[in-house]
Amino acid sequence: MADQLKGMKVAILVADNFEQVEMTDPREALDNEAAGTYLIVPHDGEVQAFKHDMKGDKFEVDMTLSFAEPDEFDAVMLPGGVFNADKLRVVRQAQDFVVRIDELGKPVAVICHGPWLLVSAGLVGGRTMTSYYTLKDDIRNAGGQWLDREAVWDRNWVSSRNPRDLPVFDRLMVDLFASYWDATGRKRKAA
C-alpha cells in the first residue's frame, strides 16, 4: 500500500445492475492507495451488481444521492454496466453531482457505459475519451472525440472501454487522482 491517496474521498456513483468488476476492481485500487471510497446510490439499503448478464453480489450503500454533496468529495468514479448507466443517466441528482465535480476541476474516472451520465449531464463536448464501443456515436453526437483505446486521459478525466482494460484504467485513475492529491491529504491542484 503506497498511501498516495490517503485522506482523499472518492464518490462511486451507481444504480442497480452495475457491472460488478468495474466497481470492485477500481475500488480495490483506490483502497490500496488509502483513498476513502463511498458507494453512492439513488436509494437506501443495498445495490445489486451484475456479472455480465447474471446477477452478482449485493453491496451496502454508503450514502444516497439525496445526501451526497459533491463539494465534500475529491473525485468521482463511474462504473459501467448498461442497465446501471441507463438508469443513472436520467437521475437529475447524479447529473448535478458530476457537473459540480467537473466545474471544480476534480478528477473523474469512467469506464464502459458509465459515460452515458456525462453525456446526459452535458459534459462531453470538447472532450476526448473512450468507452464501450456502442457509445461512440453518443459521445460524438454530444460533441466529444471518441478513441478506441484501453484508456484515455483528457484533463481531469480518465475513461476506459471495458473490464479487459481494468489494469490500465486502474493505473491511470490512480495517477490522475494522485496528480490532484498528495499523501498528506492536501489538494495539489485542479487537473
Domain range for 44:
9-180
Q: Indicate if 113 belongs to the active site.
A: yes
Domain presence at residue 18: yes
CA distances from 44 to 71, 114, 134, 148 (A): 21, 21, 31, 36
Parts of the chain with a pLDDT under 70: 1, 182-191
Q: What is the pLDDT of residues 64-112, one digit of tens each?
A: 999 999 999 999 999 999 999 999 999 999 999 999 999 999 999 999 9
92 vs 29, 34, 35, 66, 120, CA distance in Å? 29, 30, 27, 10, 9
Number of domains in the chain: 1
pLDDT of residue 172: 97
User: What interhelical angle do 166-180 and 20-32 show, nearest 10?
Assistant: 40
One-letter identity of residue 34: A
Cβ-Cβ contacts under 8 Å for 132 (sequence gap 6 or more): 80, 112, 113, 161, 162
Determine, yes or no, domain membership for 168. yes
What pLDDT shows up at residue 191? 46
> For the domain that residue 148 is a member of, what is the CATH number?
3.40.50.880
43 tagged catalytic: no
Q: Is residue 186 part of a domain?
A: no
**Residue 185 domain-assigned?**
no
Tell me which of 111, 112, 142, 151 is the catalytic residue. 112
Residue 191 lies in a domain: no
Catalytic residue among 87, 89, 106, 113: 113
Ramachandran region of residue 100, left (φ > 0), alpha (ψ -120 to 50) or beta?
Answer: alpha
On whether the CB atoms of residues 9 and 73 are closer than 8 A, the answer is yes
The H or E element containing residue 129 is: strand 128-129
- Tell me the whole-structure pTM to 2 decimals: 0.94
Q: In angstroms, rounded to a whole number, what is the distance separating the alpha carbons of residues 70 and 126?
A: 23
